[in-house]
Amino acid sequence: MKANIGVVGLAVMGQNLALNIARNGYAVAVYNRTAERTKKFVEERVKGEKIFPSFDIQHFVDSIEKPRKIILMVKAGSPVDEIIEELLPYLEKGDLLIDAGNSHYADTNERLERLSHHGILYLGMGVSGGEYGALHGPSIMPGGSLEAYKMVQDVLTKIAAKTEDGPCCTYVGNGSAGHFVKMVHNGIEYSIMQSISEIYDIMRKVLKMNSAEIGRVFEEWNKGELGSFLVEITYKIMNYMDEETNRPLVELILDKAEQKGTGKWTAQAALDLGVPTPSLNVAVFARTISHFKEQRIQLSKIFGEKKMAHVDKSIVKDLEKSLLFNMFLSFSQGLWLIHEASNAYNYNIDLLEVLRIWKGGCIIRAKLLDFLRNILKDNPQNINLLASDLAMNFVKEKLPSVLRVSSIARESGLPTPVLNNSIDYLFSLTEENLPANLIQAQRDFFGAHTFERIDKEGTFHVEWQELE
């Protein structure tokens, strides 16, 4: 009997995805570069599922029915190219490779092009939901040719998370659309995680709340408008005790945030495409700054003690509204970036579908997504969501709370970069007259870069000073 599909790469994600596919009734061939991992997987985790291990790449390819469909779940970067080169000699025209890792979208474009010369179909597929999602139902973002997607549509929609709006999988668009959308998903994820951390910081330092109290607040919030995966895991983290010390584990974790690059790529793509995503960008820098622990210790001593603002717990309501404000504007910036990329790269992405498949199984799933979909449904051109009374009323209603929280953080010397950048994003976009006229004058002054005028058509330059 041949397998219906193959999975290469048996670290956490590959193992769980293979099990998920097998539990949905498919026979799955599996292969991993290091044989030991394959053996361990089969011995310890396969319990009657139709999973066929291979320890040789040719045997692996031969064990899959034609046209072959092979999911690559290996480390992003050069490992993807290496495994493609190893597979190529055994593949035939019409076979399909699916890169389900977090590959950079430019790499996906290059691989699509390269493999098309061999007659091999290719999908760049974002998968969100971590190891739990991969096993129980992730959010799946495949991009490439529609013909390639149709070959695996059944299996992908079966293994995806389900919501009342259907399976969390859709054909995202042409070329590297799937990986681009997954990348921006991660950029939004960085921003929301940083927002939650900023609010947590105010709770613990200004309000002097302990982790259990903070956990209770996040648990309450999770029942309301803020309901989301990231808020849910936050209260679970607050409640998790370290067995050795009997203290909340979160308080014992070193404050240096790691990153694998998708947040940085999102910021780079936004800068390349000229789309304002300040909240997403500063969330990356916040992680970067966190790494300078030794410098921070040294400078904190020179700076001196920070005096926390005197406020009571009545501001918890303001903190909730601030987080909603940040969440909304993080999505706003991410959607705008996807829209511009879709135009620039001919992805042909349906933003409503993207919001739909983020509703379940994924790290940024949130109740707020239904609200966003309602806004966009009424006006599909409202690409950053702000151009509607519904959206503007939502952010304006939160604004007094947001400004209070920002000012409490400023007064206390606490960094809240996402909160402040979200405020400035809103203030800038809603400002008819920005001081960019002065910047244009300065540019023309020192570089003869020219400027336009508000009172007549044309491009102008003046000699601002005598050259001599």
Ligand X SMILES: NC(=O)c1ccc[n+]([C@@H]2O[C@H](COP(=O)([O-])OP(=O)(O)OC[C@H]3O[C@@H](n4cnc5c(N)ncnc54)[C@H](OP(=O)(O)O)[C@@H]3O)[C@@H](O)[C@H]2O)c1
- Catalytic residue numbers read 182, 189
Does 13 engage in binding with ligand X (CB under 6 A)?
yes
Does 14 engage in binding with ligand X (CB under 6 A)?
yes
The number of CA neighbours under 13 Å toward the Cβ of 280 is 31
Q: Given the complex with ligand X, which of 20 and 102 has the nearer CB atom?
A: 102
Q: Which of 67, 130, 166, 413 binds ligand X (CB under 6 A)?
A: 130
Q: Which of 22, 70, 73, 366 binds ligand X (CB under 6 A)?
A: 73
Q: Sign of torsion, CA 59 63 64 70?
A: negative
CA separation for the pair 336, 277 (Å, rounded): 8
Q: Which of 23, 49, 50, 79 binds ligand X (CB under 6 A)?
A: 79
CA separation for the pair 101, 78 (Å, rounded): 12
Q: Given the complex with ligand X, which of 9 and 178 has the nearer CB atom?
A: 9
Q: State the DSSP H helix or E strand holding residue 51, giving kind and residue range, or none if neither.
A: strand 51-54
Radius of gyration of the chain (CA): 25
Query: Is residue 413 helix, strand or coil?
Result: coil
- Residue 442 tokens read as 């300065």
Label residue 40 exposed, middle or buried (CB < 10 Å: 0-12, 13-18, 19+). middle
Does 263 engage in binding with ligand X (CB under 6 A)?
no
Q: Which of 6, 9, 173, 334 binds ligand X (CB under 6 A)?
A: 9
CA separation for the pair 175, 181 (Å, rounded): 12
Does 188 engage in binding with ligand X (CB under 6 A)?
no
Closest-CA residue to 264 (of 250, 282, 291): 282
Q: Given the complex with ligand X, which of 57 and 403 has the nearer CB atom?
A: 57
Q: Given the complex with ligand X, which of 88 and 392 has the nearer CB atom?
A: 88
Q: Which amino acid is at 436?
A: A
Does 414 engage in binding with ligand X (CB under 6 A)?
no
Least separation in angstroms between CB 178 and ligand X: 12
Does 56 engage in binding with ligand X (CB under 6 A)?
no
Residue nearest ligand X, Cβ-based: 101
Q: How far is CA 313 from the centre of its chain?
A: 32
- Residue 141 tokens read as 């973002």
Q: Given the complex with ligand X, which of 18 and 267 has the nearer CB atom?
A: 18
Q: Which of 131, 165, 201, 370 binds ligand X (CB under 6 A)?
A: 131
**Per-residue mark of binding to ligand X, 86-125 (x: CB under 6 A):** ---------------xx-----------------------
Does 10 engage in binding with ligand X (CB under 6 A)?
yes
Q: Where are the alpha helices (DSSP H) in 100-210?
A: 105-116, 130-136, 146-159, 177-205
Query: Is residue 235 helix, strand or coil?
Result: helix
Does 261 engage in binding with ligand X (CB under 6 A)?
no
Q: Which amino acid is at 139?
A: S
Q: Which stretch binds ligand X (CB under 6 A): 71-79, 142-150, 215-223, 372-380?
A: 71-79
Does 75 engage in binding with ligand X (CB under 6 A)?
yes
The number of CA neighbours under 13 Å toward the Cβ of 13 is 18
For 113, 189, 253, 277, 418, the CA distances from 283, given in Å and listed in that order, are: 33, 9, 19, 10, 6
Q: Which of 40, 49, 65, 76 binds ligand X (CB under 6 A)?
A: 76
Q: Which stretch binds ligand X (CB under 6 A): 75-83, 346-354, 386-394, 450-458?
A: 75-83
Does 32 engage in binding with ligand X (CB under 6 A)?
yes
Does 83 engage in binding with ligand X (CB under 6 A)?
yes
CA separation for the pair 453, 314 (Å, rounded): 49
Q: Which residues pair with 123 in a beta bridge?
A: 98, 144
Q: Which of 34, 374, 407, 430 binds ligand X (CB under 6 A)?
A: 34
Contacts with ligand X: how many residues (CB under 6 A)? 22
Query: What is the contact surface with ligand X in residues (CB under 6 A)?
Result: 9-14, 32-34, 37, 73-76, 79, 82-83, 101-102, 127, 130-131
